Amino acid sequence: MDDRQGQDLVLIERALAGDAEAFGDLVSRYQNMVASVAWRFGTPRDEIEDLVAEVFLKVYRSLDRYRPEHPFSTWLYRVAQNEAVDRARRRRREAGRADELPETIAAPGQGAGRAMLADERARLLRQALAELPAHYREVLALVHFEEMRVEDAARALGIPEGTAKTRLMRGRRALGRLLARRWPDVFGDRA
């Protein structure tokens, strides 16, 4: 167990004993990590703060169920990811077809157009990620966003390294297929 993990554990124990400030320290320590997860999973800027607060309240309510075998940061990452994905789904449902993504992205001009296209690609990628099964999404996020090595991601998730490798491979493949099938004009040439 590294230093940070040990400190987290002490803060959790204090929070469970009724020290609210200790939980506040955990919030200060991890709030920007949670915000990053929200951002990567397509949460709009104006909703990020709400999401971060909601994630910490959820974590606080279930803090007594936290098992110290896995790092607190991984548990928090998972809760944040699930919350971001749930909100993305809710947003899409509420928006209905009006917010459905276009089958074809209009050909942009040079410069600003290229940036727009990159933004659009990122948006579609986030949407596709949110639709992947959680066990693929978790490994992909840890390896590709957090730049963890596969063995570290496996340890953080509490799964064997072989399982993490398989999920990573299948997750990439599923994501590739999903992108190419849903938006062939944008991703079809890559698959």
Where along the sequence are the contacts to another protein (CB under 8 A)? 15-16, 18, 20-21, 23-24, 27-28, 31-32, 34-36, 38-40, 45, 48-49, 52-53, 56-57, 60-64, 118, 121-122, 125-126, 140, 144-145, 147, 169-170, 172-173, 175-176, 179, 190-191
Please report, as a single letter, which amino acid is at residue 126.
R
- 28 vs 97, which CB is nearer to another protein? 28
For the record, the structure tokens of 135 come out as: 């066990």
Q: Report the alpha-carbon distance of residue 31 to residue 23 in Å, rounded.
A: 12
| Region for residue 175 given its phi and psi (left: phi exceeds 0; alpha: psi -120 to 50; beta: otherwise) | alpha
Rounded to the nearest whole angstrom, what is the least distance from the CB of residue 92 to another protein in the complex? 18
Rounded to the nearest whole angstrom, what is the least distance from the CB of residue 96 to another protein in the complex? 26
In DSSP notation, 72-123 reads HHHHHHHHHHHHHHHHHHHHHHHHGGGGPPPSSPPPP-STHHHHHHHHHHHH
Rounded to the nearest whole angstrom, what is the least distance from the CB of residue 104 to another protein in the complex? 19
Rounded to the nearest whole angstrom, what is the least distance from the CB of residue 31 to another protein in the complex? 5
Q: Do residues 156 and 71 touch, judged by C-beta distance below 8 A?
A: yes
- 61 vs 97, which CB is nearer to another protein? 61
- 96 vs 133, which CB is nearer to another protein? 133
Rounded to the nearest whole angstrom, what is the least distance from the CB of residue 156 to another protein in the complex? 17
Report the 10 Å Cβ neighbour count for 184.
Answer: 13
- 19 vs 98, which CB is nearer to another protein? 19
Q: Do residues 110 and 101 touch, judged by C-beta distance below 8 A?
A: no
- 15 vs 157, which CB is nearer to another protein? 15
